[in-house]
Structure 1
Amino acid sequence: MKYLLIFLAVVMLVALGLLALSFYSARVPEGLGVNEDGLADCPDRDNCVASEASAPGRRVPPIEAVGPENEVMDRLSSAVLDLGGEIAERQGPYLRAVFTSPLWRFRDDLECLYRPAEGRIEIRSASRVGYSDFGVNRRRVETLREALARP
């Protein structure tokens, strides 16, 4: 009986900790958006990937795209919505979407910046909390890349 109570107490503490992280992830992080160099770099954590990341292990290739800004951004918006994202901001060549995990409601930010002169979309996907995302953001970027490659 004693071990059962200890086990239940540990489970409750873990659940409360995850719930607290979920509430914390509701806050939009500072530094999102376009700065003079493009999108923000990834922090020193394994829960972010970006096409312009300074750390090679966090870098992903940009998404190839050509066409008028409105058409590319409309297609990008549709693909993000199809993947379960919610468009939080869209201004000109910039788009920010939020993805929410089903169980604990953790939030991740996906940012895209279309650079028509270079024929690419710079991309950044990052979790708001934690130190690892178990590859979720990298898979999200690759799934988005595949969706945009389809005719």
Structure 2
Amino acid sequence: MVFAGKRPNNLGVNNGKLASCPNSPNCVSSQSADAVHQIAPLTFTSTPEEAIANLKSIIESLPRTQIVTESPDYLYAEFKSALLGFVDDVEFYLDRNANVIQVRSASRLGQSDLGVNRQRIETIRAKFNEA
């Protein structure tokens, strides 16, 4: 757990928003306006309850993943890298007004993540769209 780092204290939903990404490129957010950090939210056609349940089962099926916080409209999970145990903080916010799931995935340490956070969200999106 050398590279786990400390859990950030800015996690969660504040006025309908997830925390903004830092300046480093190792974060993506569906609520970010700049191209470096921007990623599309998850969209669904099921009920919001079914959507969040599907998302939870997908997250639980992924390796080295632990759901830390869960509520009807929010999931927060920690993803650990296989090799060095780097921890990424990944959040999902069910935005009932927009009928989407907002996403944020950020590395705790370092600058570059070699696209890992973006790739993770796209992997989750693909599984989510299959469900």
Match of 1:88 among 68, 73, 91: 68
Secondary structure (helix, strand or coil) at the match of 1:114 reads: strand
Please report how far the alpha carbon of residue 66 of structure 1 lies from its aligned counterpart in structure 2 after TM superposition. 3.3
The Cα RMSD (Å) is 1.5
Aligned 1:2-151 pairs, distance under 5 A: 20=2, 22-23=3-4, 25=5, 27-84=6-63, 85-151=65-131
Secondary structure (helix, strand or coil) at the match of 1:57 reads: coil
Secondary structure (helix, strand or coil) at the match of 2:50 reads: helix
For residues 64 and 145 of structure 1, what CA distance do their matches in structure 2 show? 9
Q: Which runs of 5+ in 2 are unaligned?
A: none
- Conserved? CA contact 2:73–2:95, under 8 Å: yes
Please report how far the alpha carbon of residue 57 of structure 1 lies from its aligned counterpart in structure 2 after TM superposition. 1.5
| TM-score, normalisation: structure 1 | 0.80
Q: Give the number of the structure with larger relative contact order, counting CA–CA contacts within 8 Å between residues 6 or more apart.
A: 2
Q: Percent identity?
A: 35
Determine which structure has the larger strand proportion and give its number.
2
| TM-score, normalisation: structure 2 | 0.92
Please report how far the alpha carbon of residue 115 of structure 1 lies from its aligned counterpart in structure 2 after TM superposition. 1.6
For residues 122 and 108 of structure 2, what CA distance do their matches in structure 1 show? 19
For residues 78 and 37 of structure 1, what CA distance do their matches in structure 2 show? 24
Determine which structure has the larger helix proportion and give its number.
1
- Conserved? CA contact 2:48–2:99, under 8 Å: no
Answer with 1 or 2: which has the greater Rg.
Answer: 1
Number of residue-to-residue matches in the alignment: 130
For residues 116 and 130 of structure 2, what CA distance do their matches in structure 1 show? 22
**Higher mean displacement: 130-139 or 79-88:** 79-88
**Matching residue's letter, 1:105:** G
